[in-house]
Amino acid sequence: MFRAASTVMIVTLLAGLSALAADENARAMRYVPGTADAATAWQASVRKALFERLHMTDLVAKKDAVPLDAVLVEAKAAQGYALQLVRFQSTSGRAIQAYVAVPQGVKGPMPAVVCIHGHGGTRFTAFDSEKADQYKRFGAALAQHGFVAIATDVGQHEVYEKGRTLMGERLWDLMRCVDYLEALPEVDAQRMACAGLSLGGEMAMWLGAMDLRMAATVSAGFLTMMDQMEENHCMCWKFEGLRALVDFPDIYALTAPRALQCQNGRKEPPTQFTVALAQEALRQIQPIYEDLGVPERVVLHAHDGGHEIDLDALLAFLTGHLKK
């Protein structure tokens, strides 16, 4: 009798654990194709839920109450642009630094791009010749093509302020970069975008999804499904409650109807950001663009490289969507 009861208890416990695991990955707010009005309402609900889980609701609500108090730290001339190091407030208790590249000899207001590095990078990576094989100095290239470019550090793996989340702090710092761009007289606030590689591609996904000021997004070396990220990857992408709500295609779907280009290389290894998984994710993003009447604004660019930016495709996409 005892053995039979124990067996029942074990089976019940295992069933409960399976239910919890299923719950964790339930994707309760997955996008379901429908009408344009339903799509817009879904986006608003998902953004609200994600801001709550990112512990950002209060920051978003009171952002105008925290002045940037921007200070120019240093400036130097580069080929075709001026590179400035600036410091400004992210929150009332924390300041961040960013590099800002302003094209020379170009009459404003100009389009602008938030340039985002990956793991192991810094705010200088988008301008750094040492990492040009992967990043192609895309921040410098954008500045040389008439875009204001800004880049800050998002590679930290510790929470700076009590009660925050890692991904929430990374995203908030990027949103404050957008605030800084918006305040510059050289920038056309209606023509701002974001772009990044790897972790930078992930953060471009988040910024494009959660900040409606982003008119276009280029997410390189990241489009995939969450199951792929559970092994052989830094787990900093995951936070409590995320998988219960959405998968990556749902987050990208928050970008619609604004322009979205994802880049994935055919030489990515099987454990990484493969084109096949990117194609599956894209199939789940496309319906909301179709429902909003702009199917042509979302594209997957599969290139012949590996974990890298295709600079020509990035420049062509952003020029096409942001240049007058």
267: tokens are 């030489």
* Peptide linkage before 109 cis (omega within 30 of 0): yes
Residues 172 and 308 in one domain: yes
Which of 21, 30, 22, 70 shows the shortest CA–CA distance to 288?
30
Question: Which helix H or strand E contains 76, and what residues bound it?
Answer: strand 71-78
Residues 300 and 208 in one domain: yes
Distance between CA atoms of residues 169 and 188, nearest Å: 26
Q: Do the beta carbons of residue 34 and residue 291 sit within 8 Å? A: yes
Residues 24 and 171 in one domain: no
Domain interval for residue 155 = 31-322
Could you give the 3-state DSSP secondary structure of residue 84?
strand
Determine the pLDDT at residue 24.
Answer: 58
Q: Do the beta carbons of residue 294 and residue 256 sit within 8 Å? A: yes
Per DSSP, the residues of 132-186 read HHHHTTHHHHHHHTT-EEEEE-----S-SSTT--HHHHHHHHHHHHHHHHHH-TT
Could you give the 3-state DSSP secondary structure of residue 93?
coil
Q: What are the Cα distances from residue 172, in Å, to 5, 175, 244, 259, 260?
A: 52, 5, 22, 21, 21
Residues 53 and 193 in one domain: yes
Determine the pLDDT at residue 111.
Answer: 98
Residues 71 and 126 in one domain: yes
Residues 39 and 159 in one domain: yes
Determine the pLDDT at residue 23.
Answer: 52
Residues 1 and 104 in one domain: no
Residues 118 and 9 in one domain: no
Question: Which CATH number covers residue 218?
Answer: 3.40.50.1820
Tell me: pLDDT of 2 over 60: no
| Tens of pLDDT, residues 117-163 | 999 999 999 999 999 999 999 999 999 999 999 999 999 999 999 99
| Tens of pLDDT, residues 178-198 | 999 999 999 999 999 999 999
Q: Do the beta carbons of residue 140 and residue 195 sit within 8 Å? A: no
Residues 64 and 128 in one domain: yes
Q: Do the beta carbons of residue 219 and residue 201 sit within 8 Å? A: yes
Which has the minimum average pLDDT: 12-16, 175-179, 203-207? 12-16
| Tens of pLDDT, residues 101-119 | 999 999 879 999 999 999 9
Give the chain's domain count: 2
Q: Do the beta carbons of residue 303 and residue 266 sit within 8 Å? A: yes
pTM of the model: 0.92
| Tens of pLDDT, residues 18-59 | 433 445 568 999 999 999 999 999 999 999 999 999 999 999
Diameter over CA atoms, the chain: 87
Residues 2 and 74 in one domain: no
- The pLDDT mean for the chain works out to 93
Residues 22 and 36 in one domain: no
Residues 15 and 144 in one domain: no
Q: For the beta carbon of residue 147, count every other beta carbon within 10 angstroms.
A: 29
Tell me: pLDDT of 221 over 70: yes
